[in-house]
Structure 1
């Protein structure tokens, strides 16, 4: 069936596992699907199997997280200090 439709489309024939890999790659790249959802969708027994095959497709995720949280954390320091320290005290 794949060969027949590849001929009709004028493209090279691809193996079924190639279609599966292309589908997974598409979900990761275009929809940023998380590894747990992808693992479930592919029918893997656990996410570690999915990570073994697709972890290379999740580069720089730490940088993406850092960019997303930049500006969302608001640190406010106290305007007054309750510690009395003049610099000459021994600890």
Structure 2
């Protein structure tokens, strides 16, 4: 349980989340986050269009360590998504 204090989410730090190769391999910022309604899965994406082969599965802790601002979305309910134009902008939550 102590490990959960490393991230602000109620999900465990090792929870699998979806991201894209642009974020993991190219250093693109996370500009789109969704919390899927059907399965509760988190997605942290660069905001562009993607093909399946660009998907990556990483831990929630990995994403949080890349960008602490995603912690502001910790209470975003399933079925919602958030966007921003750049890392300097505020998150806009929809849904």
Range of TM-score over shorter length = under 0.3
Higher relative contact order (CA 8 A, sep 6+): 2
Structure richer in helix, relative to its length: 1
Structure richer in strand, relative to its length: 2
TM-score normalised per structure 1:
0.26
Which structure has the bigger radius of gyration? Answer: 1
TM-score normalised per structure 2:
0.25
